[in-house]
């Protein structure tokens, strides 16, 4: 994962690198560093957050610079493994996102030539490879090094004595902000405060930038990449008084859903979908859950496959890939494989211009705005809104009005329930039908944010094994709207309650029987049964958020995770 930021312009380089990198911390936050170059190369790096390592850094030489926030893949998070990585003469500094698959082989070759390695990272081979060929000139040396790399990379590099940032991209995100100055970054959000003009660096692009000059080539030929204007603004990507991005994003759901449903492209895309014999959905994490929910409500022949499990076995039909970031490595691998098997690719994505949008034949968007919190919240409900609307349109209907505002008013009530949950080690989530998926999503959020063991089951499966785990006071979150599954769910709730479980019931506000069975009850409005996952996942997001708060976890930056999973 990791975040890369580079800057060449007339501003204060160290300050701009710090500010840009701060907005990329959601991509990784176990160590940070920067390198600023002119006649001399200055660098700093250490384990810790961007604030821990890079607050108030100034260097005497202040020409162009690169910075990095890390999510460890190879080597522990510590000072030596932090980026930038340098050659032994400290002339070449490199920051990298991705995985160099052949690094061991390259490292052995370089060691035989006398290079001395300090870190356990795959990245460190890059500055050594560049240094090997500096006599050819900086850009030639950079190109020669990149040509030897296998795997995925977004690389930024500075070299002593030069005012250029060298960069290369293959399978890892890299974008360029332009406003006279240049901002090279893993994500648009990091430079939105300075510019909305974006150049999307393409696969296998390699080039350099310096004040007032940009050069890119692909396959040995110079290419001219034009800027696009992005609609997101900086305010949308800021916390605006909320304690955490996640809380802000939970509260932005009414607008995110409405904006998503207002997109007229849903109509033409539903026509396209209705002509298909088969659709294979492939996605990861929460986006996979959105696809799974569609399978429960749609009559379209659908297969839903976790992206990392997608293989040659899945043949026939078109592919729909769902992703917030459009940069998830597992998802992109699945899509590339599907393309090689001649599947047409459709994508439902939140980030405009992301890699997935460029791989796909047809793209529709969720219009949720930037999502910074690692947990998917508003993008999940926006994905559900888009998918359920597509399904309704295929059936010649449209969705009833969606109003989730009354649920958002329950924040305090849900916070008080989370105080009980925070005292447990294990939590069960039960649902039936499409709300099995709601249970899965609720449990995922609880694991991700509060680090509590959470299991999701279809109510009917309890008796086939997991009931043995139910014991006195074990919290069971029961998702029980007044739909066709309600009566059977009530039976399942009775089963766990009679074995001592503590029931947190979510259901229709006037469901007296459920209220009676519940130790805590979250009253929900009457909702069309096909829309229940969209409504019911919101209190579950809040439950995880507040449980994390009670346990003093940072919900925006859960341990071991990063927002955009750009490595397989």
Residues that are catalytic: 2, 563
Beta bridge partner(s), residue 170:
153
Using CB atoms within 10 A of its CB, is residue 235 exposed (0-12), middle (13-18) or buried (19+)? exposed
3-state secondary structure 32-74: EEEEEECCCEEEEEEECCHHHHHCCCCCCCCCEEEEEEECCCC
Gap between the Cα atoms of 9 and 62, Å rounded: 10
Beta bridge partner(s), residue 25:
none
Least gap, CB of 152 to ligand M6R (angstroms):
15
Of the candidates 58, 67, 50, 52, the residue with the CA atom closest to the CA atom of residue 8:
67
Of the candidates 418, 458, 408, the residue with the CA atom closest to the CA atom of residue 438:
458
Residue 160 or 441: which CB sits closer to ligand M6R? 441
Least gap, CB of 567 to ligand M6R (angstroms):
11
Token pair recorded at residue 228: 């696009």
Question: Can you give the binding site for ligand M6R, defined by CB under 6 A?
Answer: 284-287, 323-325, 328, 331, 374-376, 444, 448, 564-565
Of the candidates 509, 510, 530, the residue with the CA atom closest to the CA atom of residue 402:
530
Residue 45 or 378: which CB sits closer to ligand M6R? 378
Beta bridge partner(s), residue 313:
none
Least gap, CB of 324 to ligand M6R (angstroms):
4
Least gap, CB of 348 to ligand M6R (angstroms):
10
Q: Which residues contact 446 (CB under 8 A, 6 or more apart)?
A: 421, 427, 429, 452, 454, 540, 543, 544, 547
Residue 324 or 518: which CB sits closer to ligand M6R? 324
What is the three-class DSSP state of 336?
A: helix
Residue 284 or 524: which CB sits closer to ligand M6R? 284
Q: Which residue is nearest to ligand M6R (CB)?
A: 285
Which DSSP string do the residues of 173-233 spell out, in sequence order? --EEEESSSEEEES-GGGGTTT--EEEEPPTTEEEEEETTEEEEEETTEEE-PPPEE----
Least gap, CB of 441 to ligand M6R (angstroms):
8
Least gap, CB of 291 to ligand M6R (angstroms):
11
Residue 145 or 374: which CB sits closer to ligand M6R? 374
Cis ω for the linkage preceding 310 (within 30 of 0) = no
Angle value at C-alpha 328, between 326 and 330, nearest 5 degrees: 130
Residue 348 or 514: which CB sits closer to ligand M6R? 348
What is the three-class DSSP state of 335?
A: helix
Q: What are phi and psi of 404, to 5 degrees?
A: -95, 5
Q: Which residues contact 424 (CB under 8 A, 6 or more apart)?
A: 452, 473, 474, 475
Least gap, CB of 477 to ligand M6R (angstroms):
17
Gap between the Cα atoms of 556 and 432, Å rounded: 30
Least gap, CB of 194 to ligand M6R (angstroms):
24
167 in Cβ contact with 158 (< 8 Å): no
Residue 324 or 485: which CB sits closer to ligand M6R? 324
């Amino acid at each position: 994962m990791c975040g890369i930021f580079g800057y060449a312009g007339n501003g204060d380089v160290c300050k701009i690198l710090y500010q840009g990198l701060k907005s990329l911390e959601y991509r990784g936050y176990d160590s940070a560093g920067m390198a600023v170059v002119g006649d001399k190369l200055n660098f700093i790096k250490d384990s810790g957050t961007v604030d821990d390592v890079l607050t108030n850094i100034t260097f005497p030489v202040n020409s162009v610079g690169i910075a990095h926030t890390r999510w460890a893949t190879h080597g522990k998070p510590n000072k030596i493994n932090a980026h930038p990585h340098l050659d032994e003469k400290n002339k070449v500094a490199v920051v990298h996102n991705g995985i160099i698959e052949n690094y061991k082989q390259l490292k052995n070759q370089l060691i035989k030539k006398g290079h001395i390695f300090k870190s356990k990272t795959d990245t460190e081979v890059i500055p050594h490879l560049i240094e090997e060929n500096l006599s050819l000139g900086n850009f030639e040396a950079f190109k020669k090094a990149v040509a030897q790399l296998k795997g995925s990379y977004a690389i930024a590099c500075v070299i002593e004595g030069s005012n250029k940032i060298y960069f290369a991209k293959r399978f890892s995100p890299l974008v360029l902000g332009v406003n006279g100055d240049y901002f090279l970054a893993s994500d648009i959000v990091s430079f939105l405060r300075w510019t909305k003009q974006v150049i999307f660096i393409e696969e296998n692009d390699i080039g350099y930038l310096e004040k007032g000059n940009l050069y890119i080539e692909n396959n040995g030929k110079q290419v001219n990449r034009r800027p696009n204007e992005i609609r997101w603004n900086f305010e949308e990507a800021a916390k605006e008084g909320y304690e955490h991005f996640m809380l802000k994003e939970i509260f932005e759901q009414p607008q995110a859903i409405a904006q998503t449903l207002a997109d007229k492209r849903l109509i033409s895309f539903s026509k396209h979908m209705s002509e298909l014999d088969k659709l294979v959905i492939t996605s990861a994490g929460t986006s996979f859950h959105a696809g799974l929910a569609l399978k429960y409500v749609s009559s379209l022949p659908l297969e839903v496959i976790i992206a990392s499990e997608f293989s040659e076995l899945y043949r026939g039909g078109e592919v729909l890939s769902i992703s917030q970031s459009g940069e998830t490595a597992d998802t992109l691998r699945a899509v590339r494989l599907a393309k090689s098997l001649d599947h047409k690719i459709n994508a439902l994505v939140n980030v405009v211009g992301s890699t997935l949008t460029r791989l796909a034949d047809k793209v529709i968007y969720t219009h949720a705005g930037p999502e910074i919190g690692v947990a998917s919240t508003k993008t999940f409900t926006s994905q559900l809104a888009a998918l359920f609307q597509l399904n309704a349109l295929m059936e010649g209907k449209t969705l009833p009005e969606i109003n989730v505002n009354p649920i958002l008013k329950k924040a305090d009530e849900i916070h008080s329930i989370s105080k009980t949950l925070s005292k447990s080690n294990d939590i069960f989530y039960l649902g039936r039908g499409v709300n099995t998926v709601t249970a899965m999503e609720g449990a995922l959020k609880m694991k991700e944010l509060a680090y509590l063991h959470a299991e999701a089951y279809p109510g009917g499966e309890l008796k086939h094994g997991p009931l043995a785990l139910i014991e006195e006071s074990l919290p069971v979150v029961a998702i029980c709207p007044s739909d066709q599954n309600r009566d059977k769910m009530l039976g399942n709730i009775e089963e766990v309650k009679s074995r001592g479980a503590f029931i947190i019931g979510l259901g229709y506000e006037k469901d007296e029987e459920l209220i009676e069975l519940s130790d805590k009850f979250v009253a929900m409005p009457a909702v069309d049964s096909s829309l229940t996952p969209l409504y019911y996942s919101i209190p579950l997001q809040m439950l995880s958020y507040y449980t994390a708060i009670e346990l003093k976890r940072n919900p925006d930056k859960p341990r071991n995770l990063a927002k955009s999973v750009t490595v397989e």
